[in-house]
Structure 1
Amino acid sequence: MQNLPSHLFKEIQEAICRPEGTVTFNYESPDLFDKDKLGEVILEIPSGQHLFRLERDNSLCVHFYHSSPGTGTRVATVDLKNLPPAPVVFLAFSWTPSETKLHVRPNTPEAELVSATGVVSQRQFCVGKDGRVYQIGDNGLDVMGLNSYQAGEPIILPTGKKAWEETVKAIEVLSKGESKESYIFEVVVTNLSLAILVTGFETYSKKRFLELEQEGLTPNTNSVIDAFYSKKEREIGIGTVLESEAEDAGTTVLQHVVSKGKINFQNYSSCKRAFKKAYGIKFGNLGLSSDTLENLQSFIRYRHRIIHVSSLDGTLNLENIPPEEPIFSNKETAENATNCFSEFIEALHKSTLSLRPGNKP
């Protein structure tokens, strides 16, 4: 299967570059059930930021790996030792944002179809910026904060979801620190946590915004341009200019707009507008309470005060007292902020996974 004609490989690659689908085929191999033969990769196709990998290991197990930035890598496994040997085997695999499945049936009269549902894989795979497939971690080996550059250009960067998980981990580590400075140390830890959380929010939002296009979803770039460029710029044909610049840079118009810094993902309103215009995702429809959304915006404002007024400020909403009750820089505030941002990002991520090609923003 690794020696597919280039045109057939391309056809399959284009067909599976979507959030969900099914692939079926008959696989012929004299070695598939031979326990003395080493394992091999049956099929490996990167498609956008999706990766589809089918392999047989040395223990006669067939694994289907599906990877994308939104879901990470999941693996579904069927043990061939439980099946009657056959020179030809029917194979099928399917994927959605919520589930992967592998189906195997030897082409013999007595054989039945055996199915397996995917689980999170310790072996994570990703498609690098150079189009090559990379394995990250392995069974019993976890990897955090992986970055890879070549000639100054990024090849592998954490996904939006992974970057957020690492943000939360950083907050957890920070919260366990100790100091003889007592109260002032708690203030510093809380304020630093808020700064890290807002940066994590910005990083996740920006990465996820761009990942969706690479996962086979088509953004409404015209609406994005209308929302983030002035009327004067639109009247003189900024859309055509952006298309030309993006083509010269070998990127998409959406990626080009983001690279020019036109969307401030650290600003709640700007981020909200971007997701709505590009993909039809409305922050007000994420299933979150109005209090959660209001608190999120407040924590973003507090970060601004911490950065631009004082990192030792022990009261975060001083300019609004009264009528507001004081919000102090303490452990409780740090925990509330972490829970608030996590709740929002989990809801937003779930919403992005529900998108399908053809969804109208």
Structure 2
Amino acid sequence: MTQLLTQQRKKWLMLLVLSGGISACSQPGETVNTGRNFDRKAMLQQYADNLIRPAYADLQAKVNALNTAATIFAGAPTAANLTAVQTTWTDAYTAWQYANAYNFGPAGEEGIRKGLIEEIGTFPTTTSKVEATIAANNANFNDFNRDARGLPAVEYLIFNSEGSNAQILTSFQLANRRNFLTAATADIKRRVDEVVAGWNTYTNSFVSRNGTDAGSATSELYNEFIRSYESIKNFKVALPLGKRPGQTAAEPARAEGYYSGQSLLFIKNHLTAIENIWYGRSRDGKAGVGFKEYLENVEGGQALVASTEAQLGNVRKALNALPETVPLSQQIRTNPAAVENVLNECQKLTRFFKSDMSSLLGIAITFASGDGD
């Protein structure tokens, strides 16, 4: 009996040793890289200080310049003043490409207000609504007609995709049209000013919510990053190509920047903004901690980083094959295969940004894109 008890004690001791060994081999940071030691708070602070707030501040400055130029033009609709409005609009819309991925917090939905991207960036503009508002001379922008205000609606007013500046100047002899222009730019300015002011107090809350749950800042940032990228694929490329659900043919006039003919300029800047978020890099090139470093701190992350960056290069190569001097709408008509190649390369990148990245970081996709990905 004594010998049997001794043998049982030896077995229990052996099990305890093995159990301790297994436990020791599973400690975070040793054989299994879980990313638990990654400082998400520092990452969020970096995004707030070097990407988000500077993007909105630059947008604010460019929108203020646009509003001033529009006011001057409305008072004196000359060729020189029209050129000034067109230039400041292009500057503002380019700046918008670097801010449109941050539709949360001060730029998020509140009551009947939608995210800033819907309030000032909805395209294509429904021109019949714009013209009806001009005819009634009742532009207040407190309605649900988000496709008849914002930067795209201003573009429709001050550019002519098929005519000349002389025709635009003639149209602005109508006082109602001048009234709409100044009201539209003032509305854009008001909304952007509110977001910039909001971030002055929202930053601390943003940085402190550094978990990965659906209500965290990490989740908000990641989901808006994905939505912003998908807007390039789904709306800036697929929509004018006629590749969205329900479309049966190309619709080049539905391209972003259709009236100014600058679609590719905006797409390329938007892609650069997406790359900057991925790297945690400011617009002026200042390096920081971003999603790339976050992924490198989780198991399997380095392989995903390599795949993602290779495909980012493929998307950029496909975009660069389209001459920027020829409007995208025209290239859709004359060289659709090259434009469709951009869409195909964007589609390949979606898997890495959306499915694989979400899985490795443990951050749920909280929006519905409706594109079958």
Q: TM-score range by the shorter chain?
A: under 0.3
**TM, length-normalised to structure 2:** 0.27
**TM, length-normalised to structure 1:** 0.28
Identify the structure with the greater strand proportion. 1
Identify the structure with the greater helix proportion. 2
The structure whose Rg is larger is 2
Which has the bigger relative contact order, CA under 8 A and spacing at least 6?
A: 2
